[in-house]
């Protein structure tokens, strides 16, 4: 009898532990659990009551704000392929971007702005904005980037990130809010200023906005929420499945390069690798009539 009693006690404890683990696992999920059978469920999400961006706390206590946050969380949760790619690319490029944001005095949360702008790819918008930070030609030149048929520094991650930082700092000084600075990255500083004055409002969340700018900050908030707690939204990615961070060294060049393919070979890399590390080099030569000093990135393993 004593033996049977011990077995009963052991399995009772085991069941309690399993139930506790199941409850804890469920409680850390953003999905509303309806306890319906089936291996795949398309579920609504629990929306956070507040969220922080760049040190500013946003209370999601109005139906308008709740619905806007809900939309962006749902879009990014259920566009699984895109979100998985963002998670993988974030692991590759965020360390480089975070360092520059810290150097320039811009909150780290702005890395998510780059993520929603481009998916961390060197894409071109229908309006002609380019690179991770989707910088327009005129804006790039205004902030000191070289943009021509031979070189486009909007594709240089380091330089483009610093330009984005300069813009955001200027916008923060103008509006007194990092959230409004983020909104102005989409709408423009003059556009946000006009809306604030016209509607006699002081915050992004009180403005009546067009569709794109209305969604813009909430897209950043939703991506931040998912990237920082992916398993809560059903994303399970092993460390080995993420893309490896870029590690590189640089060589300084202050002359023209007549043939970049040959130049690459001399440095121990092929043309493809040279262009992957330096997408701002648009052609197979570098004009450099002004004898400008360029920093050419190379894989760390083959650097000088």
pLDDT per residue as tens digits for the range 15-48: 555 555 544 544 577 877 766 665 567 899 999 9
Backbone angles phi, psi at 206, to 5 degrees: -100, 0
Residue 80: C-alpha distances to residues 46, 116, 192, 226 (Å): 18, 15, 32, 11
Task: State the average pLDDT over residues 60-65.
Answer: 96
Distance CA(157)–CA(133), nearest Å, equals 9
| Token code pair at residue 273 | 């690798």
Element at 86 (helix H, strand E): helix 80-104
pLDDT attached to residue 88: 98
- pLDDT of residue 255 exceeding 50, the answer is yes
């Amino acid at each position: 009898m004593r033996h049977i009693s011990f077995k009963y006690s052991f399995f009772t404890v085991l069941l309690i532990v399993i139930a506790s683990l199941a409850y804890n696992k469920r409680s850390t999920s953003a999905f509303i659990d309806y306890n319906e059978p089936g291996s795949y469920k398309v579920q609504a999400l629990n929306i956070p009551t507040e969220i922080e961006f760049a040190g500013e706390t946003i209370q999601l206590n109005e139906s308008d704000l709740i619905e806007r946050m809900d939309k962006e969380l749902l879009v990014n949760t259920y566009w699984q392929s895109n979100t998985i790619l963002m998670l993988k690319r974030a692991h590759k490029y965020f360390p480089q971007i975070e360092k520059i944001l810290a150097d320039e005095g811009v909150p780290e949360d702005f890395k998510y702005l780059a993520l929603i702008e481009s998916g961390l790819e060197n894409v071109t918008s229908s309006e002609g904005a380019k690179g991770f930070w989707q910088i327009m030609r005129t804006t790039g030149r205004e902030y000191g980037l070289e943009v021509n048929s031979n070189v486009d520094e909007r594709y240089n991650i380091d330089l483009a990130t610093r330009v984005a930082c300069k813009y955001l700092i200027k916008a923060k000084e103008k509006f007194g809010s990092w959230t409004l600075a983020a909104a102005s990255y989409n709408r423009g500083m003059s556009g946000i200023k006009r809306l604030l004055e016209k509607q006699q409002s002081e915050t992004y969340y009180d403005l009546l906005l067009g569709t794109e700018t209305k969604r813009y900050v909430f897209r950043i908030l939703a991506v931040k929420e998912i990237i920082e707690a992916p398993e809560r939204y059903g994303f399970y990615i092993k460390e080995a499945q993420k893309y490896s961070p870029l590690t590189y060294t640089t060589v300084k060049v202050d002359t023209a390069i007549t043939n970049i393919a040959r130049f690459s070979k001399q440095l121990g890399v092929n043309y493809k690798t040279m262009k992957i590390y330096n997408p701002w080099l648009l052609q197979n030569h570098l004009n450099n009539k002004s004898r400008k000093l360029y920093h050419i990135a190379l894989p760390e393993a083959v650097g000088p």
